[in-house]
């Protein structure tokens, strides 16, 4: 029987965290780094990445960065090459990068739909496929954590306007997680999703400026997600402690989705 705290130890593991320069991605990176993982942060903006890496290193984490737009072709291979140059392996993949667009369904621009889908679905598929081929399947081990949303499990609140592409993409991530867990279980790879509720972030800023009171009122715990609220579940799913969990979507929303 293993000592409980050793089950959460990520020492010697390499974790790629997309959208890792701020918000939920940086929160997850902080948690994985605190438990010993070597971090590769991915985001579009190099300046934001540099600041995040400095912050992580100041707290004792080992981290590098790779600027990439995961909604474009070729980005997945560039990320993998950067991770392998730095650390020689990829053990954990956190697919957090995402985009949204607010518009009524009948007015939703095709260009915006494609932008959301290219990053939230196609980009996740391409990076996950490439990491599986290059690292996880040959090694017959790995942890994949996809960041979904409670809006992939339910519709957008009608008072907040339309977000059809975002909701559709996050629903796709939920079933992508299930289907991939079935296929890759034989390789010793676990595939799970986290579905956050409403957290303060750049993506949610405009919505929360208008609707925070309503969101909090309809959340049983009576608050938004905080800076530590994804950390425990991320470490669980990335570590040996979560070795027998796969194909699952764990909701972290203060109870909002149960109403």
Burial class for 119, CB neighbours closer than 10 Å (0-12, 13-18, 19+): buried
Measure the CA–CA gap between 102 and 88, rounded to whole angstroms: 40
Contact 156, 163 (CB under 8 A): yes
Tokens of 252: 């972290």
Q: Which of 24, 172, 13, 39 is nearest to 96 (CA)?
A: 24
**HSE-up of residue 217 (Cα within 13 Å, Cβ side):** 5
Contact 235, 228 (CB under 8 A): no
Contact 196, 256 (CB under 8 A): no
Measure the CA–CA gap between 16 and 193, rounded to whole angstroms: 15
Q: Which residues are catalytic?
A: 166
């Amino acid at each position: 029987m293993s000592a409980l705290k050793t089950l959460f130890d990520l020492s010697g593991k390499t974790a790629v965290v997309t959208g890792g320069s701020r918000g939920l991605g940086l929160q997850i990176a902080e948690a994985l780094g605190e438990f010993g993982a070597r971090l590769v942060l991915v985001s579009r903006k190099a300046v934001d990445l540099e600041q995040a890496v400095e912050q992580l290193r100041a707290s004792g984490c080992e981290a590098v960065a790779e600027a990439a737009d995961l909604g474009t072709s070729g980005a997945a291979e560039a990320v993998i090459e950067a991770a392998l140059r730095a650390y020689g392996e990829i053990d954990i993949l956190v697919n957090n990068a995402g985009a949204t667009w607010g518009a009524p369904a009948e007015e939703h621009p095709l260009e915006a739909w494609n932008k959301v889908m290219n990053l939230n679905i196609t980009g996740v598929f391409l990076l996950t496929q490439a990491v599986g081929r290059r690292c996880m399947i040959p090694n017959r081990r790995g942890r994949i954590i996809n960041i979904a949303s409670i809006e992939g499990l339910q519709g957008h609140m009608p008072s907040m306007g339309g977000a059809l592409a975002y909701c559709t993409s996050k629903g796709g991530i939920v079933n992508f997680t299930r289907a991939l867990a079935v296929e890759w279980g034989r390789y010793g790879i676990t595939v799970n999703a986290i579905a956050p509720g409403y957290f303060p972030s750049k993506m949610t800023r405009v919505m929360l400026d208008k609707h925070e009171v309503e969101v909090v009122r309809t959340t049983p715990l009576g608050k938004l997600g905080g800076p530590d609220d994804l950390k425990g579940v991320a470490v669980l799913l990335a570590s040996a402690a979560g070795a027998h969990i796969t194909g699952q979507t764990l909701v972290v929303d203060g109870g909002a989705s149960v109403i």
